[in-house]
Amino acid sequence: MPVDAELQPILALMNSGPPLREVPLEQLRQFTPAPAGPPVPLESVTDRTLPTAAGELPVRIYAPRAATGLPVLVYFHGGGFVLGSLDSHDGVARRLALDADCIVVSVDYRLAPEHRFPAAADDALHAVRWVLEHAGEVGGDARRVVVGGDSAGANLAAVSVLRLREGGAALPRGQLLIYPVTHLRSPLEGSMLENGDGYFLRAIDMQWFEDMYLQSPADAAHPHASPLLAKDLRGLPSAFVLTAEFDPLRDQGAAYAARLAAAGVPCVHSDYPGAFHGFFGMPVGISQRAVAEACGWLKTAFADTQS
């Protein structure tokens, strides 16, 4: 099918710019998408930092209502490990907090190229561990924690649960993976080839992001960079994997969902025909339906005592 009618003018605008590698990084980082409307009203939005061996890790905590013992979503923003911030994903975090009735802890992990792999993955792991141990400090329930993110942030969410399992630690209740990056340096075939130009995220942009993030090409084969390459996915928490028809990352997201299911992990894979990378949270119908589906899954994951 063609690109969703409501998304078409947004895509035309997004495609009008040059490849990301041709824009100075400082300029790219100064750009924050204009909010679609007034901020979603919540009980509180609080900035704080978490102490780590690498320094202070900023987080923003969204509480939908005055209550204790709410479920918690630890969220990692997208941006190719190079771009993005608490502000760029403020609207998404607010909507998830309100519609899923959960506390959202949005994490401002270190960005490349100043901080290359595995810095972002280390920050993600630290944030998830902190929430699992200290959820009560922010009004949350440590027994009902889900990790999530979009694009590179979904990569960090998936990697964090892999690393927790490797260390024999307690696992979160689930993982919300919105068009995840699961295979760095993936072959230029399938959706990477079909959707590699003309749909906002270009294949050459992905290569640029990876060049900035990885310390060496060999890092791409490490499962903490490419979770699709992990040998064993058994025992991981339940997952919701969202993909988009015109996303170059579509096939690797679908492949990760298939591997999770084959490993016995309860997994919902939802592909959105007519959508492209970055559509989640946009002020149009298809995007709002995607957010509603994700929040419905979150509520189920939070309530599932078996996961």
CA distance 147 to 302: 11
Catalytic residue among 108, 122, 126, 151: 151
Catalytic residue among 90, 122, 219, 247: 247
Cis ω before 118 (30° cut-off from 0): yes
Active site residue 277: yes
Catalytic residue among 108, 277, 287, 307: 277
At 99 the three-state DSSP class reads helix
Cβ neighbours for 30, distance < 8 A, ≥ 6 positions apart: none
Task: Please report which helix (H) or strand (E) contains residue 270, including its range.
Answer: strand 267-272
Active site residue 269: no
Task: Please report which helix (H) or strand (E) contains residue 210, including its range.
Answer: helix 203-213
- At residue 143, what are phi and psi to the nearest 5 degrees? -80, -10
CA distance 245 to 251: 9
DSSP assignment of 177-200: EES----TT--S-THHHHTSSSSS
Question: What amino acid positions are annotated as catalytic residues?
Answer: 151, 247, 277
